[in-house]
Copies of this chain bind each other. A is one copy, B any other.
């Protein structure tokens, strides 16, 4: 038996960030930036009005009471240049328009009589009022986003404002999902007597997407060697990662091992965990194109637990994240339960509470018989260590917090 810790260490030693790629902004969303983004120019490149109003020289207005100024001309956003403001005059300016040389403030239209020829100002502006100075958004030469930054909406705004239509990122890994098992039927199709609806692959498709990676679900492949071999070889070209589910029982294991042998090096182990202790991990595809392959148990709960424990951290590492793991909390068990000796047990559980009050945890369903319904109603996996054979009520248990 191999420990969970050793298996995870082997996985993380074998994976690293996907090679950087230049992608358009919409494809960069959610990715990790693989370059320092240096602003090529000041934005705005000249002082611009922060609102509709009148550009003035604030120094002209001292002691003027409620001044009335002649309006020299109009300036719109995007106008290539503004004329110079003559002393004692105003320029009507639209939000985003360039503030004329000689002006240092904008009086908001709401604070005037909105005159077109002459304008009465109801408020005296201070220097810089309602003016966005040069470089307010980005300063030329500054590293506005550092390599390693996650590109969400706010970060993409900086890239776009800087004029960058493409960014160098660690692209989202493409994860090919193959569900093996002659007993499996696609949901929504007829099922023969003894058949089982395929659920693990459908769940992993959503789990991969939630991780920010791109799932390619191949669907159900029978245990026939030729069919399985062809399906895997076909998909390798498009995969950054391959995940199979099922095919690990003693009666099926030889098939999967034989099919994978010519494709790469996959090691099959018994990992000291529950549910689902049979696991395969290695690389397939050979040479520079070698990609990690995870062979996960077929039961949907065991497959999802294995995904959380091994695959999700690997996908996060491949996407360039440094923060690989889900948040965890220490929670006090409401009830006790048994745990197999020598095995790290992952129990679908409901965690309630708050950081200030503390947390409490209760298994959802029978901890010895994890169920898909129980996992769907859980919001955490309670983790019982290898040395524990039971949790007693009141004991503090480490819990991985799942989404939702």
Contacts and interface: CB of A to CB of B under 8 A. Distances in A.
Contacts of A80: 192-194
Contacts of A369: 50, 132-133, 136
A56 interface: no
Given A138-B372, A193-B81, A402 B188 contact: no
Interface stretch (A11-19, A145-153, A280-288, A388-396): A145-153
Contacts of A165: 186-189
Contact of A137 (B95, B188, B373): B373
Given A29-B209, A96-B196, A188 B203 contact: no
Contacts of A39: 373
A207 interface: yes
Contacts of A186: 165
A241 interface: no
Contacts of A109: 250
Interface stretch (A71-79, A83-91, A228-236): A71-79
B76 A251 contact: yes
Interface in A156-212: 156-166, 181-189, 191-200, 202-207, 209-210
Number of copies: 2
Interface string A279-319: 00000000000000000001111001000000000000000
Interface string A245-261: 00011111000000000
A158 B301 CA distance: 10
B202 A160 contact: yes
A94 interface: yes
Contacts of A6: none
A5 interface: no
A401 to B, nearest CB: 13
Contacts of A375: 154, 157
A3 interface: no
B52 A249 contact: yes
Given A25-B205, A154-B372, 19 more contacts: A25-B202, A26-B205, A30-B210, A43-B196, A52-B251, A76-B251, A94-B250, A150-B404, A152-B404, A154-B378, A155-B376, A160-B197, A160-B300, A161-B187, A161-B197, A161-B372, A163-B187, A163-B188, A164-B187
Among all A-B residue pairs, the 8 with the closest Cβ atoms: A165-B188, A78-B183, A355-B355, A157-B203, A153-B207, A160-B199, A80-B194, A161-B199
